[in-house]
Amino acid sequence: MDSVSFVLAVLIGLLAYSEGESDPVSQTLLAVDLWSGMVLCLTLWFRRRWTVPLALLGAAVSVYADAAAGATLVLFMTVAVHKPWRTSIWVFAVNCVATLSYLQVRHKDDWKTQLVIGITLYAAMAGWGFYIRSRRQLLQTLRDRADRAETVATLQAEQAQLRAREEIAREMHDVLGHRLSLLSVHAGALAYRPDASTEEVAGAAEIIRASAHQALQDLREVIGVLRAPVGELPQPAFADLPALVEGSREAGIPVELTLEAPGAMPEHVGRTAYRIVQEGLTNAVKHAPGEPVSISVTGAPGNGLSVELRNPAPNRRRGDGQGLKGLSERAALVEGRVEHGRTPEGDFRLYAWLPWPA
């Protein structure tokens, strides 16, 4: 672009100089005209660094030099492109005054016509420069918007990743908490049964080994999804609920399950119900080991799904409540609700209602 501007300025300057040789001026002025015009063309290479000073220098040289015509136009247009419009206007005014002075110095006969032509050329350069400036500003605005959109998309992706990490943390709490609670039950049985037979000790030890192995396997699966998409998280289904209860029974927890939920259930509702039962069993083992637990899961499409767990809790202590808080958040995500507390009979009751569309 600089090379093109330089070549055009030189060509325009030489053309204007050849036409101005017939002016009634001295040969000295014509020689100064040519050389100062060519030197001004060389300054075009530095016009972005000293935009306004070179434009004013061009206006001064154009007072007497025809060869400076092309370079002066380019320098003025550079001001219009890169500087505010107020600066461009007063530089335009300086060039108009320089044009009027040029017509007097070179003794032009039709000076009025040439004055109109000169002002028109500068006005055209100003308009062209303003157009280029506006277009560049528009393109820069579009780039800034694209950058902002990319930043927003990145932030949204990071937030989604944080939500995924939170979901993984909940999975670790639910899965490992339940497994380790069952393991604790079996280990406690060994500690309080010193008179157990060899076969009973071996059986309990085998159950502990299997539970520990399963807990480690669950931990590997949960940690493994840190590198996998969120949709690949290992999720239980409502159909796994009887197996969950059976596992607690094998651990020695007397569990009574009432399951009356016929019909096709949405996956997210069934998974939430499973987690509620799992957390309830974990809390029952933690706060009331050995006490019976009654579980009722009933519902139908259009009526919603009710999940209720009851167990005596004479020794229940106040904890941090993170598990129950997490259940409330889970239920809220599917537009359900969770309630918990002591009943008048002294039992601990965990109740949840989940929507089940028809």
Number of H helices, E strands in the chain: 10, 5
What's the pLDDT at 44? 78
Neighbours of 349 (CB within 10 A): 17
The torsion angles phi and psi of 351, rounded to 5 degrees, stand at -130, 140
Contact by Cβ (8 Å): 356, 299: yes
Q: Is 3.30.565.10 the CATH number for 237-358? A: yes
- For the chain, the structural domain boundaries read 2-109, 237-358
pLDDT tens track for 74-110: 888 888 888 888 888 888 888 888 887 877 777 666 7
Residue 332 has pLDDT above 60, yes or no: yes
343-347: Cβ within 8 A, 24+ apart: 343/310, 346/312, 346/313, 346/314, 347/310, 347/311, 347/312, 347/313
What's the pLDDT at 6? 61
What's the pLDDT at 267? 84
pTM for this one?
Answer: 0.44
What's the pLDDT at 230? 47
Nearest to residue 184, comparing CAs of 286, 279, 280, 253?
286
What's the pLDDT at 306? 93
Residue 10 has pLDDT above 90, yes or no: no
Top-confidence residue, 279 or 67 = 279
pLDDT tens track for 254-267: 899 999 988 888 88
pLDDT tens track for 301-328: 888 999 999 988 765 555 445 667 778 8
User: Rounded mean pLDDT of the chain?
Assistant: 77
Nearest to residue 59, comparing CAs of 42, 38, 81, 74?
74
C-alpha distances (whole Å) from 282 to each of 249, 287, 293 are 13, 9, 11
- Structure-token match 């083992």, residue found: 285
Residue 170 has pLDDT above 60, yes or no: yes
For residues 34 and 57, give the distance between their C-alpha atoms in angstroms, rounded to a whole number: 16
Give the mean model confidence (pLDDT) for residues 172-196: 68
